[in-house]
Structure 1
Amino acid sequence: MPHPTSAGRRLHRPVLDWYAAHQRDLPWRLPQRSPWGVLVSEVMLQQTPVARVLPVWERWMSLWPSPSDLAAATPGDAVREWGRLGYPRRALRLHAAAAAIRDAHGGAVPGDEATLRTLPGVGDYTAAAVAAFAFGARATVVDTNVRRVHARAVTGDALPAPALTRAEVDLATALLPDDDTDAATWNVAVMELGALVCTARAPRCAECPVAHLCRWRLAGSPTYDGPPRRGQRWEGTDRQCRGRMVQLLRDSPGPVSGAQLRAVWEDEAQRDRCLDALVADGLVEPLEGDRFRLPG
Structure 2
Amino acid sequence: MTAPTTPTPAPAQTDDTSDAPTGRAPGGALHGPVIAWFDEHARDLPWRRPEAGPWGVMVSEFMLQQTPVNRVLPVYEQWLIRWPRPADLAKEPPGEAVRAWGRLGYPRRALRLHGAAVAITERHGGDVPTEHAQLLALPGIGEYTAAAVASFAYGQRHPVLDTNVRRVLARAVTGTQYPPNATTAAERRLARELLPEDERTASRWAAASMELGALICTAKNESCHRCPISAQCAWQLAGKPEHDGPPRRGQTYAGTDRQVRGRLLAVLREAVTPVPQSILDRVWDEPVQRARALDALVSDGLVEPLPGGLYRLPLT
TM over 0.5: yes
| Aligned 1:118-133 pairs, distance under 5 A | 118-133=137-152
Question: Alignment partner for residue 13 of structure 1, among 29, 32, 36?
Answer: 32
Question: Alignment partner for residue 25 of structure 1, among 41, 44, 48?
Answer: 44
Asked whether 1:286 is paired with 2:301, we answer no
1:146 maps to which residue?
165
2:71 maps to which residue?
52
**5+ residue gaps, structure 2:** 1-21
Q: After TM superposition, give the deviation of residue 32 of structure 1 in Å.
A: 2.1
Question: Alignment partner for residue 168 of structure 1, among 170, 183, 187?
Answer: 187
Question: Alignment partner for residue 63 of structure 1, among 82, 86, 96?
Answer: 82
Runs of 4+ more than 2 Å apart = 2-6
2:186 corresponds to which letter in structure 1?
A
Cα shift readout 1:222-276 (whole Å, capped 9, x = no counterpart): 1000011120111111111111000110112221110111110111111111111
Asked whether 1:239 is paired with 2:254, we answer no
Asked whether 1:180 is paired with 2:199, we answer yes
1:104 maps to which residue?
123
2:291 corresponds to which letter in structure 1?
D
1:276 maps to which residue?
295
Contact between 2:181 and 2:249, CA under 8 Å: does it hold in 1? no
**5+ residue gaps, structure 1:** none
Contact between 1:4 and 1:154, CA under 8 Å: does it hold in 2? no
Q: After TM superposition, give the deviation of residue 3 of structure 1 in Å.
A: 4.7
Question: Alignment partner for residue 202 of structure 1, among 221, 225, 232?
Answer: 221
Question: Alignment partner for residue 84 of structure 1, among 103, 114, 117?
Answer: 103
Q: After TM superposition, give the deviation of residue 117 of structure 1 in Å.
A: 1.0
1:49 corresponds to which letter in structure 2?
P
1:217 maps to which residue?
236
Mapped to 2, the partners of 1:168 and 1:117 lie a distance apart of 20
1:191 maps to which residue?
210
Q: After TM superposition, give the deviation of residue 97 of structure 1 in Å.
A: 0.7
Which structure's relative contact order is higher, taking Cα pairs within 8 Å and 6+ residues apart? 2
2:314 maps to which residue?
295
- What count of residue pairs does the alignment treat as equivalent? 294
Contact between 2:89 and 2:117, CA under 8 Å: does it hold in 1? yes
SS in 1 for 2:182: coil
Mapped to 1, the partners of 2:133 and 2:40 lie a distance apart of 33
Q: After TM superposition, give the deviation of residue 5 of structure 1 in Å.
A: 4.4
Mapped to 2, the partners of 1:145 and 1:290 lie a distance apart of 45
- TM-score of the two chains, using structure 1 as the length reference: 0.98
Mapped to 2, the partners of 1:139 and 1:293 lie a distance apart of 41
Mapped to 2, the partners of 1:232 and 1:32 lie a distance apart of 35
- TM-score of the two chains, using structure 2 as the length reference: 0.91
SS in 2 for 1:32: helix
